[in-house]
Amino acid sequence: MPHIPGNDGESEGRAGYADGMRAMLLVNPTATTTHQRTMDVLIRALGAALDLSVEETAYRGHAALLAGTAHAKGYDVVAVLGGDGTVNEAVNGLLTAEEHGGEGALDGGAAERPALMVIPGGSANVFARALGLPNDPVEATGAILEALCDGRRRTVGLGRATWDGEHRYFTFCSGLGYDAEVIRAVEGLRSAGFTARHTLYMGTAIRHYLMTDRRHAAISVEGPGIPGVPDIFMAIVSNTSPWTYVGQQPVTPTPWAGFDTGLDLLGLRRLGLSTILGLVGQILGERDTLPKGRNLVQLHDEGEFTLTAARPTAFQLDGDYLGEVERVTFRSIPNALQVLV
């Protein structure tokens, strides 16, 4: 088993090195890749280093509700053991709880709210891996406890999507069109009992490609200083890179995106097979160059822009399907959150 500080006799003297630091641990008991024995090991390790309170999530939105109380209850850290969906809920709970302080509470207000600790327990764990954490939850816990011991924190920016009078923050990505349609289909399969593996996403993407409307583009993009671009079939909005993973393989449609910059966008103005295959060949793996193609629309380091759809269009955020929308405004929220990493 990988080494976890404070979890064996050799490091016994370091146990309690964060004495006085209170942490709320949110555990998703149905997380895809985390078993009960692993959860018990991680909880003991964290409890040896922190004044730890453990809360299990019981329903969709529960993590946001619990995280939203953390500041008022005096917690210094909100830790999440789960997948990207649970992490997203916790982040939204933390930031939404501070919104009464006005916009300034969000722009640069990371030090005013509890820090975040992310332990990967889902099928993709994009946010945790983008932070440089191991995908194994035990190894990731060891890395996080070392960061805690050394006093290391990273301040990251987030994205915020606003639509139909609602808004929600995202850690790594959002999107309209084909990719959101695939996520909607996968969520339907998961509710029917299928396991969320990358093969399920790939198979669903291929099958759905044959059914989606590849002739009538519905989306356009515009924003401050951004010339309007119509006739987009799929738009990917990124707060960091990679966008997702296929197993261990990173997918990087917006390789310049980062937690320290504004938002990036990749749009497709064609869904023909040659366009898709040409793009896939350019975005699989670690990349530092933008994909090329005359049917691509690209934005980098933008503070704000709006996607408008001519008809109700599928919408996803951090891999969570949120329904059909016709207009979404995206804004970069810099220095929004501190993460122990």
Which 8-state DSSP code applies to residue 284?
B
Confirm whether 167 is domain-assigned: yes
**Residue 18 pLDDT class (50, 70, 90 cuts):** low
Task: State whether residue 278 is helix, strand or coil.
Answer: helix
Condensed to tens digits (0 to 9), the pLDDT of residues 231-244 reads: 999 999 999 999 98
Same domain, 31 and 88: yes
**Average pLDDT of span 114-133:** 94
Which structure tokens are listed for 168? 């929600």
**Rounded distance, CA 187 to CA 25, Å?**
26
Same domain, 182 and 33: no
Q: Is the pLDDT of residue 76 over 60?
A: yes
**Average pLDDT of span 270-274:** 89
Confirm whether 174 is domain-assigned: yes
Confirm whether 157 is domain-assigned: no
Same domain, 204 and 106: no
Same domain, 137 and 231: no
pLDDT at residue number 174: 98
> In terms of Cα–Cα distance, which of 50, 44, 49 is closest to 15?
49
Q: Are 241 and 299 in contact (CB under 8 A)?
A: no
pLDDT at residue number 197: 67
Same domain, 138 and 194: no
CATH number of the domain to which 58 belongs: 3.40.50.10330
Phi, psi of 258 (to 5 degrees): -160, 160
**Rounded distance, CA 48 to CA 337, Å?**
25
**Residue 196 pLDDT class (50, 70, 90 cuts):** low
What's the pTM?
0.89
**Rounded distance, CA 143 to CA 131, Å?**
11
> In terms of Cα–Cα distance, which of 311, 286, 289, 309 is closest to 298?
289
**DSSP states of 62-117:** HHHHHHTTTTTTT-SEEEEEE-HHHHHHHHHHHHHTTGGG-GGGTTT-GGGS-EEE
Q: Are 245 and 251 in contact (CB under 8 A)?
A: yes
pLDDT at residue number 19: 61
Q: For the chain, what is the domain count?
A: 2
Q: Are 156 and 116 in contact (CB under 8 A)?
A: no
Among 152, 186, 207, the domain-final residue is 152
pLDDT at residue number 191: 76
Q: Which residue has the tokens 């290391």?
A: 152
Q: Is the pLDDT of residue 103 over 50?
A: no
**Average pLDDT of span 52-77:** 96
**Average pLDDT of span 46-58:** 96
Same domain, 218 and 320: yes
Q: Which residue has the higher pLDDT, 190 or 29?
A: 29
Q: Which phi-psi region, left, alpha or beta, contains residue 318 (left: φ > 0; alpha: ψ -120 to 50)?
A: left
**Rounded distance, CA 6 to CA 17, Å?**
9
Q: Which residue has the tokens 């299990």?
A: 56
Among 129, 152, 175, the domain-final residue is 152
Task: State whether residue 180 is helix, strand or coil.
Answer: helix
Q: Is the pLDDT of residue 10 over 50?
A: no
- 302-323 burial: b if 16+ Cβ within 10 Å, else e: bebbbbbbeeebbbbbbbbbbe
Q: Is the pLDDT of residue 254 over 50?
A: yes
pLDDT at residue number 205: 75
Same domain, 173 and 295: yes
Identity of the highest mean pLDDT range in 21-35, 104-118, 278-292: 278-292
pLDDT at residue number 13: 38
Q: Is the pLDDT of residue 100 over 80?
A: no
Same domain, 89 and 68: yes
pLDDT at residue number 261: 98
**Rounded distance, CA 49 to CA 244, Å?**
32
Condensed to tens digits (0 to 9), the pLDDT of residues 125-176 reads: 999 999 999 999 999 999 999 999 999 999 999 999 999 999 999 999 999 9
Confirm whether 329 is domain-assigned: yes
Round the average pLDDT of the chain to a whole number and report it: 88
> In terms of Cα–Cα distance, which of 283, 264, 176 is closest to 223?
264
Which 8-state DSSP code applies to residue 202?
H
pLDDT at residue number 9: 39
> In terms of Cα–Cα distance, which of 100, 113, 127, 120 is closest to 32?
120
pLDDT at residue number 110: 74
Among 122, 152, 182, the domain-final residue is 152
pLDDT at residue number 1: 42
Is beta strand 77-82 parallel, antiparallel or unpaired with respect to 22-27? parallel
Provide the CA 14 distance to its chain's centre, in angstroms. Answer: 32
Range of the domain at 56: 9-152
> In terms of Cα–Cα distance, which of 334, 340, 339 is closest to 108?
334
Give Cβ neighbours of residue 36 (< 8 Å, ≥ 6 apart). Answer: none
Which 8-state DSSP code applies to residue 31?
-
**Rounded distance, CA 82 to CA 75, Å?**
19
